[in-house]
A = this chain, B = another copy of it.
């Protein structure tokens, strides 16, 4: 390893290793406007160091369930050109915390309803709120929501 001054830009391999995101995924993020890189004379990518934080934000947002499209929108609110400040990041995190709160509330609501349904063993289409979203979850009617895929094979 070279001396590596702390401000030297990162190669894709370094960014990949430090972020835990595969190079192919980084390419993919770039194609989709989530991150960007300078190029060397020989056309290789060189990432500014704050890209690491950017990738961290992407990963974390994904873990919580946001699609890349939404993450991109959020990132678009960061200042162009200059390295984002803590305040910039804080604003994103704050907005994001609100969504988390809503998500939690929705799940708790669902949980309560499930208690009711266990009582009656129903999941009836008419009476069960679980079956009649209407409000918090899936308001868009659109995409499936996922959670942990690992349903323990044993």
B145 to A147, Cβ gap below 8 A? Answer: yes
Which B residues touch A123, using CB under 8 A? 53, 56-57, 60, 89, 93
A80 sits at the interface (CB 8 A): no
A67 to B118, Cβ gap below 8 A? Answer: no
State how many copies of this chain the complex holds: 2
Interface centre among A89, A90, A146, A147 (most CB of B within 10 A): A147
Interfacial residues, chain A to chain B (CB-CB below 8 A): 18-19, 52-53, 56-57, 59-60, 62-67, 69-70, 73, 85-87, 89-90, 93-94, 96-97, 99-104, 107-108, 110-111, 114-115, 117-118, 120-125, 128, 130-131, 133, 137-140, 142-151
